[in-house]
Amino acid sequence: MGANPALAGPVLCVVGARPNFMKMAPLLAAFARAPELPRAVLVHTGQHYDASMSDRLFADLRLPAPDLNLEVGSGTHAVQTAEIMRRFEPIVDEFRPSAVLVVGDVNSTLACGLVAVKKHVPVVHVEAGLRSFDRAMPEEINRVLTDQISDLLYTTERSAAGNLAREGIPAERIVFAGNVMIDSLRANLARVVPPRETLARAGLDAQFVRAGRAFGVVTLHRPANVDRPETLRECLEILRAAAGKLPLVCALHPRTRGNVERFGLSALLETAAIAVLPPQGYLEMLGLMAQAAVVLTDSGGVQEETTALGVPCLTMRASTERPITVDEGTNTIVDRDRALTLRLVDEILAGGGKRGRAPELWDGHAAGRIAAHLGAWLAARGVKQGA
């Protein structure tokens, strides 16, 4: 492809929701060290807006303040996606970017990708090709559609290339780069906040995690688990039973906290063995997970982080889009199977949990590889450095 005069501007880098921030931080740092790249402009859609869901993570990750914040806030999927598109379009018109780079699988990822592709701006997707094969998950729709409209797809594990090939994505668009989320983890491990401090800051008894005493960490926010009273009750009953075996530190997402209250299920969390915390900062969360005996979660990123940390993870979902965490890492899919979950907690407490190994290219250098590749890719399209 020859030089395209329309492609002279910066790379617009999009974040929207919490799991995007730890992926974007190492990318921006690597881009700043890559003189061959046009300048990066950081756009925050405002999908997540609470201090605990956004500002705090920016500070922890040393992310620069966004150049632009679209302040879309919450809404139904249609409203949120449409509002992001409506507000992102004039940004693309104004900046005439060389590329729009999106990460992960949240509504902001798809919405901004869609605006870009319709304006013939190349879409770059970091963390492409993951598939849960469960189209009831909004993230799965976001993944499939974003990948279809992306010009360049950077993957975190080799299984992604097969998924993309089956969907007709040409192999030359796909680059196995490794896992930028693990870049963040490795870069920040030395800075984590010790669990005792995190609990004390939350006003909880620091003795909850006495030295040498095993504890578990819980995150729960998937609509399939928390949006219906029956499934949320099932999850909380499993947690309560697990808390009979080891104390649990539970960092509650606002969606989950709201539903626990709305469905009248708060009593299930009221036990001395469960510490309920607000959403935690990145360094607090890493500190908790690194020292946990087990992590119970329905998050995508936490499955990867526990694998990188070598901490057993029980995933309360029916499937995972990150199979390498099960095949090579520390992850086991337990869905809402109470007997299985409790048996595995017993095994882990007896010293038998999965330890796994670090997957290929989860080495802390994924963002550097992406910066180098993207610089060459844009240069081949006639984009000038420092645009």
- Known catalytic membership, residue 125: no
Confirm or reject binding of residue 18 to ligand UD1 (CB under 6 A): yes
Confirm or reject binding of residue 53 to ligand UD1 (CB under 6 A): yes
The correct pick among 60, 139, 140, 305 for binding ligand UD1 (CB under 6 A) is 139
Reading phi first (left if > 0) and then psi (alpha if -120 to 50, else beta), residue 77 is in alpha
Give the separation between CA 251 and CA 261, rounded to whole angstroms. 15
Give 80 or 188: the residue with its C-beta nearer to ligand UD1. 80
Give 188 or 225: the residue with its C-beta nearer to ligand UD1. 225
- Closest by CA position to 40, among listed 52, 55, 24: 24
Output the smallest distance, CB 256 to ligand UD1, in A: 9
Give 53 or 187: the residue with its C-beta nearer to ligand UD1. 53
Output the smallest distance, CB 49 to ligand UD1, in A: 4
The one catalytic residue among 44, 125, 221, 253: 221
Confirm or reject binding of residue 74 to ligand UD1 (CB under 6 A): yes
Give 254 or 382: the residue with its C-beta nearer to ligand UD1. 254
The correct pick among 49, 234, 319, 382 for binding ligand UD1 (CB under 6 A) is 49
**Residues numbered 269-328 forming contacts with ligand UD1, rule: CB under 6 A:** none
Output the smallest distance, CB 53 to ligand UD1, in A: 4
The correct pick among 8, 138, 358, 382 for binding ligand UD1 (CB under 6 A) is 138
Half-sphere exposure of residue 360: CA atoms within 13 angstroms, side-chain side: 9
- Closest by CA position to 323, among listed 210, 173, 159: 159
For ligand UD1 (CB under 6 A), the number of binding residues is 19
Confirm or reject binding of residue 221 to ligand UD1 (CB under 6 A): yes
Q: How far is CA 60 from the centre of its chain?
A: 15
* C-alpha torsion 246→252→257→261, nearest 10: 20
- Closest by CA position to 84, among listed 51, 49, 134: 49
Give the separation between CA 71 and CA 50, rounded to whole angstroms. 11
Give the separation between CA 68 and CA 79, rounded to whole angstroms. 20
**Residues numbered 92-131 forming contacts with ligand UD1, rule: CB under 6 A:** 105-107
Confirm or reject binding of residue 194 to ligand UD1 (CB under 6 A): no
Confirm or reject binding of residue 255 to ligand UD1 (CB under 6 A): yes
Give 143 or 196: the residue with its C-beta nearer to ligand UD1. 143
Six-digit token pair at 269? Answer: 């969390």
Contact at 8 Å (CB) between 110 and 138? no
Output the smallest distance, CB 18 to ligand UD1, in A: 4
List the beta bridge partners of residue 321: none
For residue 41, what are the CA distances in angstroms to 28, 96, 124?
9, 12, 14
Confirm or reject binding of residue 263 to ligand UD1 (CB under 6 A): no
Edge-to-edge strands of the sheet including 331-333? 274-277, 248-251, 216-219, 294-297, 313-315, 331-333
Edge-to-edge strands of the sheet including 174-176? 68-69, 40-44, 11-15, 99-103, 123-128, 152-155, 174-176
Confirm or reject binding of residue 144 to ligand UD1 (CB under 6 A): no
Give 22 or 243: the residue with its C-beta nearer to ligand UD1. 22
As annotated, the active-site residues are 221
Residues that bind ligand UD1 (CB under 6 A): 17-19, 47-50, 53, 74, 105-107, 138-139, 221, 253-255, 258
